[in-house]
Amino acid sequence: MEGGPLLRIENLVLGLKGRSYPLVGPVSLAVDRGEIFGLVGESGCGKSLTGLACLGLFPPAVTPLSGRVLIGGDDLLALSENERRFFRGRRVALVFQEPLSALNPVLTVGHQVEEVLRLHRGLSGTAAREETLRLFSEVGLPDPETRLRNYPHELSGGMRQRVMIAMALAGNPDLLVADEPTTALDVTVQAQILALLLELRKRRGLAVLFISHDLTVIREVADRVAVMYAGEIVELAPRESLFAHPSHPYTRALLEAFPRLGVRQLRALPGQVPPPGHWPAGCRFAPRCPEKVPACEKEHPAMKALSAEHAVRCLRR
């Protein structure tokens, strides 16, 4: 278990129950200890389903068709629901986009964190209260004593997200799956939460699978980045390498479509992402690609290594 990656997803394919076509995949990626791994893509590309699969969670209509999700050495998909439950919270924890809908509105936030401590670490009474206070100060909640007795609606969006992070940390996980954790927040608050995640990584050696549609946020925090398009990873690279030499035409298009300071002309990508079941047989990006050649429509490209750590799924590279 030591030395290998913390999380390894191998050829994961997810599908809808009763349909023959895949919804996501095949996806392969690995997250190391203490690493912030950015997973970026537009809505419907499969990034959130991939994130949920890391906890062995699937929405009711979704089912894994093939592949493995390895935490340490254990394949989550081969385990029973009861065995999977052991991993959730203790090995892998989840932070959602919208803390207001993830928190119970009729219980105090202190109670909700204590509940997690009771479930995962068997703490109760004073021990649970003290550990909650410690977690609240660790995530930078001001005045933790008062916060214990607050209900979610009494907190600001930024404070609620800090509570969610405290709750996720309560089981001492090695990996945090953060699905758009700052998308619902104001920019100044977003900057605070990103700084907090970086600090937690440094202090606890926490690994984060950071899922976002926003390349600029990913650029701020991630060590390595995977870009997803139509259910598969099209480019995988360390942050510096990806932003200095974006190699897949889709990655380039995403970067050029983002309004950055001082940019006078945005280059918009024509067309739309093909929905699952309508993926082209060749390269899934070919219909929108400015660089496509006839071969792109026939052959589905494999990931090709450009350097030791930079890989891209494009026939023309």
> Which residue ranges make up the site for another protein (CB under 8 A)?
42-43, 142, 156-159, 186-192, 194-195, 213-220, 253-254, 256-264, 266-270, 272-273
What's the CA angle centered on 297, arms 292 and 301, to 5 degrees? Answer: 85
Q: How far apart are CA 206 and CA 221, in angstroms?
A: 13
Closer residue to another protein (CB): 10 or 42 = 42
Closer residue to another protein (CB): 74 or 199 = 199
| Residue 83 CB, nearest approach to another protein (Å) | 37
Closer residue to another protein (CB): 65 or 189 = 189
Three-class SS state of 66? strand
Q: How far apart are CA 17 and CA 187, in angstroms?
A: 39
Cα Rg of the chain (Å, integer) = 20
List C-alpha distances in Å: 204 to 84, 135, 139.
24, 12, 12
Tokens of 77: 């998909």
| Residue 212 CB, nearest approach to another protein (Å) | 10
SS (H, E, C) 267-280: CCCCCCCCCCCCCC
| Residue 193 CB, nearest approach to another protein (Å) | 9
| Residue 46 CB, nearest approach to another protein (Å) | 14
CB 190 within 8 A of CB 221: no
SS (H, E, C) 83-149: HHHHHECCCEEEECCCHHHHCCCCCCHHHHHHHHHHHHHCCCHHHHHHHHHHHHHHCCCCCHHHHHC
| Residue 269 CB, nearest approach to another protein (Å) | 4
Closer residue to another protein (CB): 41 or 173 = 41
| Residue 314 CB, nearest approach to another protein (Å) | 17
Closer residue to another protein (CB): 74 or 256 = 256
Closer residue to another protein (CB): 124 or 272 = 272
Strands 7-16 and 22-31: antiparallel
